[in-house]
Amino acid sequence: MSRRVPIGALVAGMVLFTGCSFSGSTSDGPLTGGAALVVAGASDLRPVFEEIGDLFTEETGHQVIFDFGSSGQLAQRIIEGAPIDVFASADVSYLDLVLASGRGDADTRATYALGRVTIWSRADSWGDWSELGELVADPGVRFLAIANPEHAPYGGAARQALESSALWDAVEDRLVFGENIADTRRLAETGDADAAIVALSMAIDAGERGQWVLIDDGLHDPLEQALLVVTGDPARVGPARAFAEFVNQPKGREVMLRYGFTAPGDRGGA
């Protein structure tokens, strides 16, 4: 089941895009003239896609640059015509908005991950929490960071989990909001929050700098993460399709699994 995101909430979270122009290219070889494939990805994908991008370049010769941010803000940029080739969202509903605007090839739409949510804090401030109730009840948690639920899917999942646990009212006035899930972890890293609710990939990426515990995924709607080729440039469609497919091929899936992402058909993982 996927969540539907109101258009009004998306527009409220809009950030204008300032892009650059790209040189012409051919679709049956590396993009020419110094151009690169442009992939817009949800912030939880930064450590994952940076590795996958290097592997993809090694295998195909196509250079890739990434634009990471909250899924809602990236979707708005694409709808407004930003020169982006592939959109990887943390919530499938944002792909629906992009397709409804007339951008994107529906035939390339594919789920690439199922996301998980964690409680995370710096290792030196970890409160040994095992679940959300303990986190909210801890008097040492003066501020809790979540991503802005208006345009960040992981923020929406955090809010749902707190509401499902009847904890939202108790913690609402202690919440601080990150613009995206990477910014949310930063708030806890810098001490602007005592803990954060972040994507599992962000917790794994932090390594020994932090500690984390998974949140019961029954407390929020599934985080079905999907991607879509959005370029309309015939010269860029081939490389864009190749990247979208590479994510779900063995080399891409190995990286995804290492950062805690699973997809239908995966075995193991977090």
Per residue in 41-97, pLDDT (tens digit) is: 999 999 999 999 999 999 999 999 999 999 999 999 999 999 999 999 999 999 999
Question: What pLDDT, in 10s, does the model give residues 91-141?
Answer: 999 999 999 999 999 999 999 999 999 999 999 999 999 999 999 999 999
Q: Structural domains in the chain? A: 7-114+222-258 (3.40.190.10), 115-219 (3.40.190.10)
Distances (CA, A) of 211 to 20, 36, 117, 140, 192: 39, 37, 13, 16, 17
Whether the CB-CB separation of 243 and 37 falls below 8 Å is answered with yes
* 30's tokens: 């590396």
- Integer-rounded Cα Rg, in Å, for the chain is 18
Specify the pTM.
Answer: 0.84
Looking at the predicted structure, is the pLDDT value of residue 37 above 90? yes
